[in-house]
Amino acid sequence: MSTMTAQREPLNASQTAAENNRSPFVRLTDLIAGIQPGKPIINLSVGEPQHPIPDFVGPVLAAHLNEFGRYPANKGIEPFRKAAAQWLDRRYDLAQPVDPETEVLVLNGTREGLFLGAIAATRWVEPRIGAPAILIPNPFYAAYAAGALAAGCEPVYLPATKASGFLPDLDALDDALLKRTVAFYLASPSNPQGAVASRAYLDKLAALSRRYGFLVFADECYCEIYSVDKPAGMLEAAGSGFTNTIVFHSLSKRSNLPGLRVGFVAGDRNFLAAFLELRNVAAPQVPSPAQHVAIAAYNDEAHVEKNRELYSAKFDLADQIIGDRYGYVRPAGGFFLWLDVSAFGGSEVATKRLWAEAGVRVVPGRYLAREQADGTNPGADYIRVAMVQDSETTAEALHRIVKVFG
């Protein structure tokens, strides 16, 4: 009895665009569908912290349960905005204190803020020439591109490769592109590579934003997970008034509270006033009890330090087990490994092999990036490994990876 192997038809341009705009995790599920994992599953694909939540969460929620019976203000309750502003003042070397009344808004985590921010930006920034563009590091967090497309802007993907320190090369941006730029997304520490922008880099970006009039959307949700030095913040580079600068922060990674869905946006008060107008009609409020948990979280550093120590211990394991394989270098920040698997068929082939032989679930770097004009994809040779499990599970997963690839 003969068998035939179905061949997938090549995708045309519109099909490729539609495929690229799907969730990386949905694409991953499709990629490994029908393949039995070779060992008990270890999921290192989703950047969902698995460390214990802080002890204060339950008692604070219990103390404010009655507030679930009221609609909270969309901008956030005053104590939350004060706590967020005061945390920023303590954490960063700012030219002026953050005004909790006009320079902070609560968010349902950073994702909705990063998405809606692009739509608000198109109402705020008038490009000097041509069609509006939003600049995005490549690879990137999917909400950036989703926001740009929803806002009717051209997403322009800036390669963030090893050659450029895994950050976009600011010197490579031409005048014509910058004149039609509405917003520039930057993640530092970056997801997935773990690169941290220097203060000089942030200063240069701030200067460009003032010169050309675009907004900087700084995604700083990994800022408290770092190896040695605290990452600098975009508000530090913005100077007084925080002109054209918007920063996004979340408790998901800092405090192991991804399910709480609380974060904040801070910066340029004029833009935030316009952003609040959009959120008042387009975004749900954040429950007050959750905001009270956030207040406790931003006023406590002990659990953050313990969290950072847990990640540091797991990167010590990576140093020992991975060593100098697969281009591994301990990242300056974040909790991902960005491993070069070009010698093993590239990101998709390596991902399927890890699943089939080792039961380890990772994300193909190709799914976290887009093809550049020259046809290359900055993530095609990499896999992203989320170091979110406990140390024992992480060590087992790393040993399995080494056993598969050698």
Tens digit of each residue's pLDDT (9 = 90 or more) over 275-307: 999 999 999 999 999 999 999 999 999 999 999
Same domain for 166 and 69: yes
Same domain for 190 and 241: yes
pLDDT at 4 over 90: no
Overall number of domains in the chain? 2
For 224-249, the pLDDT digits (tens) are: 999 999 999 999 999 999 999 999 99
Same domain for 346 and 368: yes
Nearest 5 degrees, angle CA 317-CA 225-CA 231? 125
Task: Compute how many other C-beta atoms are within 10 angstroms of the C-beta atom of residue 261.
Answer: 19
Contacts of 224 (CB under 8 A, 6+ apart): 253, 254, 304, 307, 308
Q: What is the DSSP letter of 242?
A: G
Host domain of residue 210: 57-300
Q: Full-prediction pTM beyond 0.85?
A: yes
User: Using CA atoms, how far apart are residues 370 and 6, in angstroms rounded to an integer?
Assistant: 26
Same domain for 189 and 68: yes
For 31-89, the pLDDT digits (tens) are: 999 999 999 999 999 999 999 999 999 999 999 999 999 999 999 999 999 999 999 99
For 339-381, the pLDDT digits (tens) are: 999 999 999 999 999 999 999 999 999 999 999 999 999 999 9
1: in domain: no
pLDDT at 311 over 70: yes
pLDDT at 312 over 70: yes
Same domain for 333 and 270: no
245: left (phi over 0), alpha (psi -120 to 50) or beta: beta
Phi, psi torsion values for 42, nearest 5 degrees: -125, 115
Same domain for 202 and 161: yes
User: What per-residue confidence (pLDDT) applies to 158?
Assistant: 98
370: in domain: yes
Same domain for 333 and 265: no
Same domain for 267 and 185: yes
Strand 263-267, strand 336-340: pairing? unpaired
Residues across the chain: 406
More confident residue, 308 or 13: 308
Burial 83-111 (b: 16+ CB within 10 A, else e): bbbbbbeebbebeeebebeebbbbbbbbb
Same domain for 141 and 37: no
Same domain for 24 and 107: no
User: What per-residue confidence (pLDDT) applies to 3?
Assistant: 28
Same domain for 331 and 271: no
| Portion of the chain with pLDDT greater than 70, in percent | 95
CATH number of the domain to which 345 belongs: 3.90.1150.10
Same domain for 138 and 24: no
